[in-house]
Homo-oligomer: A and B are copies of this chain.
Amino acid sequence: MWQPGEGRSAWVEGALRAATAALAGTVKLSPADAERFRLLAGKIERYPPGALVNALAPTPTAKWIISGWLCQMRILPDARRQIFGFLLPGDIAPSHPPSGGNFPSLLALTRLECVDVSQMLETAALERERSLVHAAVAATLKIIEERKYDHIVRLGQHTAAERVVSLLLELRDRLAPLDLVHKETFRAPLTQEHLADALGLSLVHVHRTLKTLRAKGLLELRLGRVTLLKPAKLREIAAEGVAAI
């Protein structure tokens, strides 16, 4: 197990606490369990932006994200790309066999710090700790799966503006528990091309859509910084995706 004083920076410690809080929120851990979970994190793995996480691992292993963003995506034979979703700190990135079946690859969008879940399981001494980890992984997978349904609705039923808005709102709501949203402003390491690939739109059209939203004074998006100027109005735009049954 990791021992205090082994040189983990204060910054990483802070990120670890934030990730723990976020995970505890989504997975509904008691404060005690959250603390238990956090202490299982030993070696921190790092990946540079652009890295394909898990691309080389012989065995698929889930990663608990401490800081940084990554996306689940697939490259098509004609070089088009579909992004299935984004993973943020606190999430546990599902690990699929590298190039296994039709499962997505994991691409780091920023520098990434994460903890290998199988390492956490090895660290866990008590049965109680192991089942805690398993439960957290299962619960996260379920939430990620749930988001995928929303994404399908986005792609299948929404207009360009609705797609952009509902995705940005999803990100806002996921970043809020990490305390990364201040005054409806947050950083997102997304280029317009990322948005296009996620939303099934062309880069040019994403840009035009953002331009319109900006012109209407609904939001700002520059330099990886998003500001939702009229959150209520934006929620209204995205509301079509909510389930009625």
Interface residues of A, Cβ cutoff 8 Å to B: 52, 74-80, 82, 84, 99, 101-105, 145-146, 148-153, 155-157, 198-200, 239-245
Contacts A52-B245, A76-B244, A157-B200 known; 11 new A-B pairs at CB < 8 A: A74-B245, A76-B240, A77-B239, A77-B242, A77-B244, A80-B157, A82-B153, A102-B242, A104-B149, A152-B152, A155-B156
A104 to chain B, nearest CB (A): 6
Nearest B residue to A150, CB-CB:
B102
Q: Majority SS of interface residues in chain A?
A: mixed
Nearest B residue to A200, CB-CB:
B156
A156 to chain B, nearest CB (A): 3
- B149/A241 in contact, CB under 8 A: no
A121 to chain B, nearest CB (A): 18
Query: 6 A-B contacts, Cβ less than 8 Å apart?
Result: A52-B245, A74-B149, A75-B243, A76-B240, A77-B242, A84-B149
